């Protein structure tokens, strides 16, 4: 049975925004290893569209970015969306009953499945086995909150320094 994990970069005041955080080489390497080791990912439409950036090679990418792109392209992806009509390579469009699909993935796969996007994670709260908050030393003051609704009861399971200035807090349902 697979474990469903929701993890994202987050500001000290609780917001996620992929454009606002600097990811140093150690954290970027961590994300590459994380993505490369996943059994798959479940995306909301908005986060999937952001991540589609990695589908096309950019000649200006360094080796680390090419490695991340290769890892991202290899993993199976399920995209929860009623607005998208199609998805890219190695991705499956899920229009209805996302919770049932994720339950089936958890039962059928081994390892970790990432859920990407706060709104989607909120809709799957009862299925999430682990939350990973990558705290950056930044205050955004606005944006999309990590928790799109009331925070579920959680228990701290681990804390790790990720690179020079990011702390990963790992929580499990209490």
Structural domain boundaries in the chain: 3-173
21: part of which helix (H) or strand (E)?
none
* pLDDT of residue 157 exceeding 90: yes
Give the C-alpha separation, 108 to 129, whole Å: 16
Average pLDDT, the chain: 95
The CATH number of the domain covering residues in 3-173: 3.40.430.10
The 10s digit of each residue's pLDDT in 22-48 is 888 999 999 999 999 999 999 999 999
Q: Is 79:91 a contact under the CB 8 Å cutoff?
A: yes
Cβ neighbours for 31, distance < 8 A, ≥ 6 positions apart? 23, 68
Report yes or no: 11 and 20 within 8 Å, Cβ to Cβ.
yes
- Output the pLDDT for position 20: 85
Q: What is the pLDDT of residue 21?
A: 85
Instruction: Kindly provide the b/e burial profile for residues 83-98, where b requires at least 16 CB atoms within 10 angstroms of the residue's own CB.
Output: eeeebeeebebbeeeb
* pLDDT at 18 exceeding the cut of 90: no
pLDDT in tens, 119-134: 999 999 999 999 999 9
């Amino acid at each position: 049975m697979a474990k469903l994990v929701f993890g994202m970069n987050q500001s000290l005041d609780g917001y996620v925004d992929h454009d606002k955080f600097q990811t140093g080489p150690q954290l970027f390497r961590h994300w590459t290893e994380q993505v490369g080791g996943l059994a798959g990912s479940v995306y909301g439409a908005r986060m999937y569209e952001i991540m589609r950036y990695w589908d096309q090679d950019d000649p200006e990418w360094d080796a680390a970015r090419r490695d991340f792109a290769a890892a991202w392209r290899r993993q199976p992806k399920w995209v929860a969306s009623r607005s998208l009509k199609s998805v890219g390579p190695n991705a499956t469009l899920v229009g209805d009953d996302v919770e049932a699909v994720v339950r089936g993935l958890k039962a059928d796969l081994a390892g970790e499945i990432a859920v990407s996007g706060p709104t989607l994670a909120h809709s799957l709260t009862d299925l999430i086995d682990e939350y990973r908050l990558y705290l950056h030393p930044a205050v955004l003051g606005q944006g999309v909150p990590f928790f799109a609704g009331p925070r579920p009861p959680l228990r701290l399971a681990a804390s790790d320094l990720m690179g020079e200035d990011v702390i990963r807090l790992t929580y499990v349902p209490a």
